[in-house]
Amino acid sequence: MRAALRAALITTALSALASCANAPAAPEQVAPAREPFAWELPPVVAAEKPIVDAARLHRATLANGLQVLVLEDRRLPEFSAGLVALRGAALEGSSELGLASFTAALMERGAGERDAFALAAAAEDLGADIGVSSDWDTLRASTSGLSRDFDALFELLADVVLRPRFAAADAKRAVAEQRAALAQAKDDPAALAGQHLMRALYGEHRFGSPAGGVDATVARFTAADARAFHARVVTPAGAILWATGDLDAAAFIARASLTFGAWRGAELAAAPPAPPVPAKRRVVIVDRPELGQAQIAIGHEGIARTDARRLEAQLFNTAFGNGGFSARLMARIRAAEGLTYGIGSQFSQRRAPGPFAITTFTRVPEVGKLLASTFEELERLLTDPPAGEELERARRLRTGGFPLALETSPAVLAALLDLDVYGLPRDTLDTYRARMREISEAEIAAAARDLIHPERASIVVVGPADALREQLAKYGEVEVAAP
């Protein structure tokens, strides 16, 4: 807009000059025309190319229900492949906290003919990776390496998915490691702040405890627990086998059919219940007397991955706290007030609604000031939601950044998998930019009103309780927790 205005002024000046060409011009009235700066020109708009090259994308479904997704990319002699099971930590009962993570760890330690060491050696001999991980909604095994080693690595992947050994000695080691990792996480103030915020929001619901579990449950896990969880979750009825890179899709699908076609498993487990909406604000200090910098997490309930308002939420949150250095929170609290190095907000979208959270940190004496500014900005989302040029900028950030985020084939594949995991429309990657442009100011304002609730946002601060208590008192009754 500014550039257009300036161009208009220059044009007016020039035409004025032309219209009185015979009159003596007063030189001080007309600045010499200069070439406009590049940033004064209107943004270049390029034709949008499709994100997914349909000729390289292949899908199949085997008779046992296993879905197969392949994205060919022959540019470099490498590939990656994996299997995503469609249930994860959210499925765990109250005595199973951390079981998905434990099962994943144990699947890596010995499968088929190989014990833990032999399995690791087989992958490392090829300079390759093979690993299993879990999150709230999935359990994932994957491998990556050079395409000439595809056959060997694909067989290792199949062993890990279909034939993990679950040896008792390895289970003991995995329990000890998971407990140590849980203890170690308490040394990280950011992790601590996150854990205590989730506890404050969700209490006894599964989301109230860390995805990796808690010491009391993990300490009791055995190989049999992992074996049972594997049988419950890793099943062709609820899994997607994927690959991308330097491979032939038809050959991969044929190979998948040969290796995984006879696989039988459980029905896909029912999705676990959604968490209750937190009723009121809690204010928690996690006492770490030695810290000079306090870690802060503020949050309330958010949305599910499939929520109809997810794009509106993404757009207003881009302007608010997830739009790089230009977002309201960064512009005010980092750039203008110098209170932090980083501040951001995020809707954690899961199969069931996850939290909306703001995370940041500042020197201990400034916590009160930072909270005041942050809550003012949170309120302002309701009274002065992103509109006009600010909204356009957020829109352009998302639409312009979209192809950049999907620059590599592994990134495109991951985005396609995510759609399948949550049952979202498969053409989403190619309709996203048009939909982002259509969202109106009124829809943004309505979504912010629906989804942002400053009055019941809980606050967790990790730092010295003695120095923090007074700074937090105005937000409600302050609870002090041990790390």
Partner 1 sequence: MHVRTIAQGLFIAAVVSVVGVASPAVAAAEGEFADPALRTKITTLTNGLTLLTLEDHATPTVSLQVWVRVGSGDESRFTGIAHLFEHMNFLSSKNLAPLGAEAYTRLVEERGGRINAYTSRDVTVYFEDVASEHLPLMIALEGERFANLLVTEQALKAERQVVIEERRLRSENDPEGLAFETLMALTYQAHPYRIPTVGWISDLEKVTAADCQAFWETYYAANNLVIAIAGDFDTDATVALVEKHFGGLRRAATIPRNPQEEPAQDGERRAVAHYPVQAPIVLAGFAAPATGHPDSDALDIAAGVLANGRTSRLYREMVFDAPLALEPQAFYWELQRAGLFMAGATLRPGVDVAKAERVLFAEIARLADEPPSPEELRRAKRTLEVSWIRGQGSAHALASRVAQDYVAFGRIEPLAEKLAAIERVTAEDVQRVVREYLAPNKRNVVHVFPQAEQEGRP
The residues in 424-483 that bind partner 1, with binding defined as CB under 8 A, are none
Cβ neighbour number for residue 64 with a 10 Å cutoff? 16
For the bound state, the minimum distance from the C-beta of residue 192 to partner 1, rounded and expressed in Å, comes to 11
Window contacting partner 1 (CB under 8 A); options: 87-95, 229-237, 290-298, 419-427 = 290-298
Give min distance, CB of 393 to partner 1, in A.
4
Q: In the structure encoding, which two tokens stand for residue 230, read together?
A: 């594997």
Distance in angstroms (rounded) separating the CA atoms of residues 277 and 275 = 7
Task: Compute the radius of gyration of the chain from its Cα atoms.
Answer: 27
Give the residue among 134, 185, 130 at the shortest CA–CA distance from 152. Answer: 130
- Interface segment toward partner 1; rule CB under 8 A; list 11-19, 152-160, 258-266, 360-368: 360-368
- For the record, the structure tokens of 443 come out as 């829809």
For residues 195-234, which are near partner 1 according to CB under 8 A?
none
Closest separation in Å from C-beta 332 to partner 1: 10
- Rounded to a whole number of angstroms, the minimum distance from the CB of residue 176 to partner 1 is 5
Told to check if 126 binds partner 1 by CB under 8 A, we report yes
Among 5, 30, 177, 440, contact with partner 1 (rule: CB under 8 A) = 177
Instruction: Give 294's DSSP letter.
Output: E
Least distance between partner 1 and beta carbon 369 (Å): 12
Strand 353-363 relative to strand 239-245: parallel, antiparallel, unpaired? unpaired
Closest approach of Cβ 121 to partner 1, in Å? 5
Closest CA to 49 of 411, 314, 410, 404: 404
**Under the criterion CB under 8 A, does residue 194 sit at the interface with partner 1?**
no
Q: How far is the CB of 244 from partner 1 (least distance, A)?
A: 10
**Nearer Cβ to partner 1 (50/425):** 50
Q: Report in angstroms how near the CB of residue 330 gets to partner 1 at its nearest.
A: 8
Residue type, 131: G
Interaction of residue 325 with partner 1, rule CB under 8 A: yes
The residue among 299, 285, 291 whose CA lies nearest residue 469 is 285
Binding mask 143-162 for partner 1 (x = CB under 8 A): -xxxxx--------------
- Under the binding rule (CB under 8 A), the answer on residue 173 touching partner 1 is yes
Residues 372-411 within binding reach of partner 1 (CB under 8 A): 392-393, 396-404, 407-410
Which range touches partner 1 (CB under 8 A), out of 140-148, 231-239, 439-447, 474-482? 140-148
Q: Whose structure tokens read 């959270």?
A: 357
In this complex, which beta carbon is closest to partner 1, that of residue 328 or of residue 350? 328
Q: Does 186 bind partner 1 (CB under 8 A)?
A: yes
Of residues 58-77, which lie at the interface with partner 1 (CB under 8 A)?
A: 74-77
Q: Are 379 and 416 in contact (CB under 8 A)?
A: no
Q: Does 115 bind partner 1 (CB under 8 A)?
A: no
303 vs 467: CA distance, rounded Å: 35
Q: List the one residue out of 264, 243, 270, 239 whose CA is nearest residue 254.
A: 243
Q: Indicate whether 124 belongs to the interface with partner 1 (CB under 8 A).
A: yes
The CB density around residue 280, as the number of other CB atoms within 10 Å, is 8
Contact 196, 462 (CB under 8 A): yes
Q: How far is the CB of 401 from partner 1 (least distance, A)?
A: 3
Q: How far is CA 85 from the centre of its chain?
A: 18
Residue 121 contacts partner 1 per CB under 8 A:
yes
Binding-residue total with partner 1 (CB under 8 A): 80
- As a whole number of angstroms, the distance between CA 307 and CA 316 comes to 15
**Of 155 and 392, CB closest to partner 1:** 392
The burial of 357, by beta-carbon neighbours within 10 Å (0-12 exposed, 13-18 middle, 19 or more buried), is given as buried
Rounded CA-CA distance 299/474 in Å is 17
Shorter beta-carbon distance to partner 1: residue 85 or 444: 444
Closest to 201 in 3D by CA, of 460, 469, 467: 460
**Contact region with partner 1 (CB under 8 A), list: 55-63, 112-120, 260-268, 449-457:** 112-120
Q: How far apart are CA 355 and CA 348, in angstroms?
A: 6
Nearer to partner 1, 93 or 324 (CB): 324
23-52: which residues touch partner 1 (CB under 8 A)?
37-39, 41, 43-46, 49
| Other residues' Cβ atoms within 10 Å of the Cβ of residue 432 | 18
Query: Tell me, what DSSP letter sits at residue 89?
Result: G
Judged by CB under 8 A, the chain residues 250 through 289 that form the site for partner 1 are 288
Judge whether 319 and 327 are in contact, CB under 8 Å. yes
Site for partner 1 in 327-346 (CB under 8 A): 331, 334-342
Is 176 a binding residue for partner 1 by CB under 8 A? The answer is yes
Buried/exposed 260-271: b ≥16 CB within 10 Å, e otherwise:
beebebeebeee
Could you tell me the smallest distance in angstroms from the CB atom of residue 282 to partner 1?
24
| Identified binder of partner 1 from the candidate list 261, 276, 292, 365, rule CB under 8 A | 292
Among 81, 100, 104, 128, binds partner 1 (CB under 8 A): 128
Q: At its nearest, how many Å lie between partner 1 and the CB of residue 326?
A: 5
Check if the beta carbon of residue 6 is closer than 8 Å to that of residue 34: no
